[in-house]
Structure 1
């Protein structure tokens, strides 16, 4: 999407028209014109800071949604307007605040300073579609036990879980130490991961890497990489509901300018392999509202209590759902 430009987003039960004015300021509004229902993002034009309906030329301000011009009318009614959605731009993404009760934003998404200043530059993105409830994906952060089992095999073993235990690459193993905790800012939590690698059972400290995964709200994670030799960067992980049991997941990586691009591209590739192992689980698992846990799984229950803040009594539910997530 360039600017000035126009884009359409389908998100759960909402359709948005997203556009920029000539200065680059972005706006997010309801996609449908309140006049006769034309889709503003299909054939509409950006006129200054307004979007023009392709059907009759009505123009709506991206700032407050008010209709500013009707080509064939003497007067524009005061009540003629469309909804403007609160939004911000972070890490090359336009993020929209959505609350089923219409509550205004109660917190802001922080900028990654190095990305905003240009010190860390974009090196690629991956996209996945996952057949799971939106809560399943971030819950992995609190499930430290799965890291040692699912993600221990070397990445060259691939993503098919029927073959990841292959003896061919058994001499190389990933090792993970992880701890998840909610932050004082209630809408944030943090997972600290120490990754190491052994080859024929020998630990190579030069390959150790610290990863800080900061969850911001229900569907955004900043994974910050720190390595003495490979440098620093961030992978921005986002989860967007497309349907009740279909999530669109992206990973965007930004890395130090001084580091050769092969390093962040390798990290993005390695992350996608490990993530796709999880996808194979998510696509075929069942959500259990009352799982059988042991004391070492205590963080999972703490994560569920923390994540429950993002639901309300009016949160959209699947038609067959009565209570919980058993659908």
Structure 2
């Protein structure tokens, strides 16, 4: 498919180049008068010495490439620490500012840093057949690989023999990954050593930890539990994605300096919607500038609520939101009204369904702890195949700007373990969410330890 698209693009570039080249040489000629016979004649009699031909071909090729990327390629919008979410200081780079804030701010009395549950470790398309990836998350180093049958496996990264990282230079053979250092082979589904090139007998204890892995909804997920419990709930399949009814439209990625609980807590914080997300998305993400009077005539209207599912689905939190865009205080025939239903599945996976008057889409929101107080937040968008890709790009980019606004809060805030709350429906939702989220912590859930006098982690 990719080669076919490339071939069509090349033909289009040549076709447009010939037309423009001919017009430059003879401005009176009509584009309509240039038929296929003329194109064939010119292609067989191209004046390769003409500088105009190469200039026009270069310009047309650039434009075709740009338009193709704009209309057909999925969006990949990445914001790293230091890109957004910090107050600028002319004396320092944004990276220096982010590092300073990260180490100097008061993080507060935070809960355990790695809750129990499913984590979307890496997107399926990132790991090809017989390919390996090394990933740092949850205080662990993981070796992710896909075997010859296409099944994904996740092992502890370090070889128990001499400590090499299995995924860095390791080879996949059958259903095993082979260590790049001495060639020891470890089986994916249980981590057992299946071969040593220079030894006939394999030690009984030669194995690495194999993580419970489920590949679903275009993500490779692992189960994490501090007490070693097996999964007691599963990630549901999104049928519209698995059936192909909804197709991948792109992703956003944000690296956030915050405790993991603060990310999903946004879903229950209805009050912040009208403060942080009311100004129109076109006003940007800088919180001190989004309230410009020049854009006050257009704004977002939000109405949200949050609740917990009853047992046996008490690991699921549900946020329902009605969104609209107001023009001078009026709706435009409900063209921008969107019904949002977000299912928070455990501590780090959210499935969001959005329905408008003309479309339905699914947004997957995944939080992966890279460090105790650094999270990678990835959102992937799926829309109906008939909707132009550019619509999905606009939608995802707009959502990314809203997350940029949240980053300005998350990156600089302190976790208030005992917040002062008002007697209001909005603040009561925060209390309910914290009580619900606490179920994902257990006795041995790891906590952040550091010396306050030196701030060394």
Structure 1 length as normaliser, TM-score?
A: 0.96
- Residues in 2 aligned to 1:141 and 1:74: alpha-carbon distance in whole angstroms: 56
1:93-134: CA deviation from partner (whole Å, max 9, x where unpaired): 111111112111111111111111111111111111111111
1:234-253: CA deviation from partner (whole Å, max 9, x where unpaired): 11111111111111111110
Q: In terms of mean alpha carbon deviation, does 243-252 or 199-208 score higher?
A: 199-208
1:157-199: CA deviation from partner (whole Å, max 9, x where unpaired): 1000010100111100100011100112011111000001110
Deviation of 1:82 after TM superposition, in Å, equals 1.1
- Residues in 2 aligned to 1:201 and 1:30: alpha-carbon distance in whole angstroms: 55
Which residue matches 2:339?
A: 210
- How many residue pairs are counted as aligned between the two chains? 322
Deviation of 1:79 after TM superposition, in Å, equals 2.5
User: Would the aligned equivalents of 2:281 and 2:402 in 1 still touch at CA under 8 Å?
Assistant: yes
1:18-60: CA deviation from partner (whole Å, max 9, x where unpaired): 0001221000001011111111011110000000011111111
Which residue matches 2:181?
A: 55
Superposed structure 1 runs of 4+ greater than 3 Å apart: none
Q: Give the gaps of 5 or more residues in structure 1.
A: none
Deviation of 1:220 after TM superposition, in Å, equals 1.0
- Residues in 2 aligned to 1:310 and 1:321: alpha-carbon distance in whole angstroms: 26
Greater relative contact order structure (CA < 8 Å, 6+ sep): 2
Which residue matches 1:219?
A: 348
Of the three residues 380, 391, 414, the one matched with 1:252 is: 380
Deviation of 1:15 after TM superposition, in Å, equals 0.7
Is it true that 1:283 corresponds to 2:411 in the alignment? yes
Please give the secondary structure, in 2, of the residue aligned with 1:304: helix
Is it true that 1:312 corresponds to 2:442 in the alignment? yes
- Residues in 2 aligned to 1:283 and 1:103: alpha-carbon distance in whole angstroms: 33
- Residues in 2 aligned to 1:193 and 1:34: alpha-carbon distance in whole angstroms: 49
RMSD: 1.4
Is it true that 1:31 corresponds to 2:169 in the alignment? no
Please give the secondary structure, in 2, of the residue aligned with 1:97: strand
Deviation of 1:71 after TM superposition, in Å, equals 1.0
Q: Give the gaps of 5 or more residues in structure 2.
A: 1-126
Structure 2 length as normaliser, TM-score?
A: 0.69
Deviation of 1:263 after TM superposition, in Å, equals 1.8
Deviation of 1:4 after TM superposition, in Å, equals 1.4
- Residues in 1 aligned to 2:258 and 2:410: alpha-carbon distance in whole angstroms: 6
Please give the secondary structure, in 2, of the residue aligned with 1:295: coil
Higher strand share: 1
Please give the secondary structure, in 2, of the residue aligned with 1:294: coil
Of the three residues 192, 197, 204, the one matched with 1:78 is: 204
- Residues in 2 aligned to 1:263 and 1:215: alpha-carbon distance in whole angstroms: 26
Please give the secondary structure, in 2, of the residue aligned with 1:207: coil
User: Would the aligned equivalents of 2:139 and 2:372 in 1 still touch at CA under 8 Å?
Assistant: no
Deviation of 1:321 after TM superposition, in Å, equals 8.9
Which residue matches 1:127?
A: 253
- Residues in 2 aligned to 1:60 and 1:160: alpha-carbon distance in whole angstroms: 49
Please give the secondary structure, in 2, of the residue aligned with 1:63: coil
Is it true that 1:301 corresponds to 2:414 in the alignment? no
User: Would the aligned equivalents of 2:130 and 2:171 in 1 still touch at CA under 8 Å?
Assistant: no
